[in-house]
Amino acid sequence: MNTEAPIRTIMTTQMITIKPEDTLLKLEEILDSNPIHHVLVTESRNLVGIVSKNDVMKWMRKAMDGLVSKDRSNVLVKDIMTKDPLTVDCDDSIGLAADIFLANKFHSLPVIDGDELVGIITNHDLIRYCFS
């Protein structure tokens, strides 16, 4: 296994994105109908955030505790997403991505090429790479 190989060799380029103004209902539909745990949030093709199944679960716990409205049609993605997420460059090493995952307990990172969003790398991508 070559940890110096660039992230571009294992990243996912078929990204599913959502807008910050979309509702939690739309996000849940995307997560339920695709084998993914993270959705990139974009505005005019620019990355503005990332949202995960875990973020949805956190919101649900707050709703159950009466801390937020239970009406998912009124909750916007921008209200539960992680804003301005840490990113990696497609030419950064796979080892760097692994180090970031371990140091921060992240499960995914958006991948950029210059200023352009080009993919996402997840801990699943790293595991698949290690065992291929």
SS3 43: strand
Q: Is the pLDDT of residue 99 over 90?
A: yes
**Confidence label for 1 from pLDDT (cuts 50, 70 and 90):** confident
Residue 45 gets which letter from DSSP?
T
> For the chain, which residues make up each domain, given as ranges?
7-130
- Express each pLDDT in 48-94 by its tens digit: 999 999 999 999 999 999 988 888 889 999 999 999 999 999 999 99
Note the pTM of the prediction, 2 decimals: 0.92
Residue 45 pLDDT: 83
CATH number, span 7-130: 3.10.580.10
Tokens at 53, concatenated: 């199944």
